[in-house]
Amino acid sequence: MMSGWNFRGLASFIGYKAALAGVSLIYVDPKETSKTCPKCGNISSHNRKVQGWFRYTKCGYQSDAERVGALNVAAKALDALGA
């Protein structure tokens, strides 16, 4: 159902549902979240040789690319909270 929504529509829907549930919502800039190593913080487009897998050659960290993106978004949210 939501796959046809634009980003603004989806963000609005999520904000509406979060407010109903009493959940705080933090917007973060997603820039570089798919290219940043969550272990050492280095950024490189070479970390994604395969679409669904993240492997950073310098520190050796590797994981599912979606998981890496989620970890980086969570880290940005924690930074925004000052945690």
One residue of 39, 62, 71, 73 binding Zn ion per CB under 5 A = 39
Cα–Cα dist 47/26, whole Å: 27
Smallest distance, Å, CB 77 to Zn ion? Answer: 20
CB of 43 to Zn ion, least distance (A): 10
Task: With beta carbons less than 8 A apart as the criterion, state whether 56 and 39 touch.
Answer: yes
Q: Does 59 bind Zn ion (CB under 5 A)?
A: yes
The structure tokens listed for 30 are: 């997603």
Residue 68, SS3? Answer: helix
* C-beta of residue 44 within 8 angstroms of C-beta of residue 56: yes
Taking the least distance from each CB to Zn ion, the nearer of 12 and 44 is 44
Taking the complex as a whole, the smallest distance from the CB of residue 34 to Zn ion amounts, in Å, to 14
Which residues form the interface with Zn ion (CB under 5 A)? 37, 39-40, 56, 59, 61
